[in-house]
A = this chain, B = another copy of it.
């Protein structure tokens, strides 16, 4: 599943026009699920109205491509989160992903269950997933423990996105509740290892611009072709290192998207910092050395 980037115009307003092509581009690359308004989608840098419009455009787009549409509705004040949840359900998204409250953070599984239950009541017919990304949220509730604690407590609860490199905790999450929850890996550099340990899916930014690498890794592991998995993972890890060498994750990945795909997503919004033309050129030159040409 690809965590889509939100395209912005030169004035940094959302460019909705690219979404149909974007959906088709991913579908053509065999990416049959998309996550919208997540970290890569700069959801936390948009207001409610903008997030709704982006969501609506993706709803239209996936009608043609039959992709699964997950929308991230958290990371905003709770009244806005509830409004976004209700809206997302009303326009027919397939699933919801939700960050914890960013200010009055949950300290315990119980706090988090209560919050997700409240969010779930605003979209009672749509599967809900929790977005675990402690490097951004500083919420360190253990996902194995939380998933076991949550069983039967949140009617629409379906699983998590696990964006962390602590794979022991990730494996505990995969195994929690008898393995019945969905646990999406959010760590491009660890796919091969995580699949070997029991993960079976990822939401990884590089699936946007280098989908073949991530797909190959999953296929290779499934077919027990470990050399192929490792070799492809090595390339993907190197690609990530090169792309993000001179700036934060999202702005640099947006540059890679513009360079290596027909979909133009433009610059990232503040407070993120975009990289210089010189660094963009450096990225291109370095990616050539690992066989990636634009």
Contact = CB atoms under 8 A, between A and B. Distances in A.
A80 B46 CA distance: 8
Contact of A192 (B106, B197, B230, B270): B197
Interface string A196-226: 1110000000000000000000000100111
A258 interface: no
A197 B221 CA distance: 12
Contacts of A136: 103-105
Contact of A197 (B190, B248, B272): B190
A44 interface: yes
Interface residues of A, number: 60
A120 interface: no
Given A44-B104, A118-B270, A271-B106, A237 B171 contact: yes
A45 interface: yes
22 contacts: A44-B103, A44-B104, A45-B77, A50-B79, A75-B77, A102-B102, A118-B270, A138-B138, A165-B169, A167-B193, A168-B190, A171-B190, A175-B234, A192-B197, A193-B193, A193-B197, A195-B196, A196-B196, A196-B230, A197-B233, A221-B226, A224-B224
Interface of A: 39, 44-48, 50, 75-80, 83, 99, 101-106, 111, 114-115, 118, 136, 138, 165-169, 171, 175, 187, 189-190, 192-198, 221, 224-227, 229-230, 233-234, 237, 248, 269-273
